[in-house]
């Protein structure tokens, strides 16, 4: 609802009229164009202005200021989007790097597990050899002890 419509309906000069859904933006744009007089705003700009109450107030009082404020806002939005795109790119690169590192760590882990199993097997074999050697030494000791007596 624009200021002109509000003032007319408050003082009873004109009965409120429902806008058809297809003509509502055009009708509001036309009302704003009439109020701004010189038509400095495009239809898209008017739509944005109508959507934001603060912008509508500024546009009514100072159209040039509203235009520059809109341009600055658009510029900030574009910078923000560019920053987000840069962050996405950085995070994608980081994810790729981390994925490659993870693959290497998995491969290293597999190799170390294999090496650990081999060392355990060799240790077990050495322990068995030591037991056999101790058993043989005991047998030789007893044999020697019996033979000497």
pLDDT tens digits, one per residue of 38-51: 456 677 777 776 77
pLDDT of 127 higher than 50: yes
Tokens of 123: 């240790």
Is the overall model pTM greater than 0.85, yes or no?
Answer: no
The contacts of residue 69 (CB under 8 Å, 6+ apart) are 55, 58
| pLDDT greater at residue 123 or residue 132 | 123
State the pLDDT at residue 92: 98
Least confident of 15-24, 50-59, 72-81: 15-24
Q: At what angle do helices 53-61 and 63-148 cross, to 10 degrees?
A: 150
């Amino acid at each position: 609802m624009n200021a002109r419509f509000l003032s007319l309906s408050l003082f009873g000069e004109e009965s409120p009229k429902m806008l058809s859904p297809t003509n509502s933006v055009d009708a509001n744009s036309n009302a704003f164009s009439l109020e701004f007089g010189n038509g400095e705003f495009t239809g898209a700009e008017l739509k944005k202005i109508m959507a934001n109450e603060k912008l509508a107030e500024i546009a009514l009082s100072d159209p040039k200021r509203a235009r520059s404020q809109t341009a600055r806002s658009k510029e900030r939005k574009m910078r923000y989007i560019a920053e987000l795109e840069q962050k996405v790119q950085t995070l994608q690169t980081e994810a790729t790097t981390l994925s490659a590192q993870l693959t290497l760590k998995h491969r290293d882990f597999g190799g170390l597990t294999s090496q650990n199993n081999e060392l355990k097997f060799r240790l077990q074999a050495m322990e068995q050899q030591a037991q056999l050697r101790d058993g043989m030494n005991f047998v030789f000791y007893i044999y020697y002890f019996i033979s000497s007596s």
